[in-house]
Amino acid sequence: MAKEEKYEVTVIDGQIELPQEVVELFGAVRNIDATIKELKEQKDTIEKPLKAAMKKYGVDKFSCEYMTATTVKDTMVETVNVEMMKGDGIYDKYKMLMPKAGYVRINYKKEKDNG
């Protein structure tokens, strides 16, 4: 049995119709996104000095009542030089096109200042 959607979306002649309640909820989502952004910035401001000190002084692990921070060492990642492969004429022979699922992107408009 398919799960019923809580907020109904209607399509009439290929056009999306949303109830006003749902349109207003997107306003709430826009505010949630702004709050998430602010909280991420606040989190980064709090974490940045600890991360910097751990790197500067070579501290591998720090724990307190609320969290544990662990240094992840530098590592090497294997990659290929695409430009060199193209120059050697072998890139097209070995490249593979893989399907990637499409998706719907939603961008929220910034709230206008009312002052």
* Per-residue confidence (pLDDT) for residue 38, from 0 to 100: 97
* Per-residue confidence (pLDDT) for residue 24, from 0 to 100: 92
Q: Where are the domains of the chain?
A: 10-70
Taking the C-alpha atoms of residue 33 and residue 103, their distance in angstroms, rounded to an integer, is 19
| Closest listed residue to residue 38, CA positions, set 49, 30, 69 | 30
pLDDT in tens, the chain (115 residues): 556 678 888 999 999 999 999 999 999 999 999 999 999 999 999 999 999 999 999 999 999 999 999 999 999 999 999 999 999 999 999 999 999 999 988 888 887 876 6
Give pLDDT tens digits for 44-70.
999 999 999 999 999 999 999 999 999
* Per-residue confidence (pLDDT) for residue 39, from 0 to 100: 98
* Per-residue confidence (pLDDT) for residue 66, from 0 to 100: 93
Question: Global pTM?
Answer: 0.69
Taking the C-alpha atoms of residue 80 and residue 85, their distance in angstroms, rounded to an integer, is 8
Q: How many CA atoms lie within 13 A of 82 on its CB side?
A: 3
